[in-house]
Structure 1
Amino acid sequence: MGRIKTTLIKRMGNKLYFLHKEKFSKDFDSNKKVIPDVAEVYSKKLRNILAGYITRLVTKESS
């Protein structure tokens, strides 16, 4: 089973995804590089969690 994402991750992830939908893809590594350009994320862990959550949003929406 996966880990449950906190409200902060869901709120930031949804906001970033719907504001910058064209910049994100199904690739985790490319999403990881896009996040610092569109938001101020200070920790590597938070950036990685957001990238994973946004990758799941893209995958879920495209299927």
Structure 2
Amino acid sequence: MGRIKTTLVKRSAENFLDKHPDLFKTSFKENKVKLAGVGEIKSKKLRNKIAGYLTRLTKQQEKA
């Protein structure tokens, strides 16, 4: 069982994915760097959580 993501993380990740669908890939490290360039997220911890959730969403989309 994993940890539950907050609404802020989910909503932010879905907004970034809607605005930039081709930018994010299945690599956490790449998503973390790209997210730092696209979004203005001041907290490193929050940026990493959003990047991780983006990675999960992109993997789910590829699987479907």
User: TM over 0.5: same fold?
Assistant: yes
Letter in 2 for 1:26: T
Q: 1:32, CA displacement in angstroms?
A: 0.3
Distance in 1 separating the partners of 2:51 and 2:36:
10
Distance in 2 separating the partners of 1:52 and 1:19:
17
Q: 1:40, CA displacement in angstroms?
A: 0.4
SS in 2 for 1:47: helix
Show structure 2 runs of 5+ residues with no match: none
Q: 1:16, CA displacement in angstroms?
A: 0.3
Q: Share of identical aligned residues, percent? A: 46
Partner of 1:62: 62
Partner of 2:22: 22
Normalising to structure 1: TM-score of the pair?
0.96
Q: 1:37, CA displacement in angstroms?
A: 1.4
Partner of 2:7: 7
Q: 1:38, CA displacement in angstroms?
A: 1.3
RMSD across aligned C-alpha pairs, in angstroms?
0.6
Partner of 2:41: 41
Show structure 1 runs of 5+ residues with no match: none
Cα deviations across residues 29-59 of structure 1 (Å, max 9, x unaligned)? 0000000111100011001000000000000
Distance in 2 separating the partners of 1:47 and 1:7:
14
1:53 aligns with 2:25: no
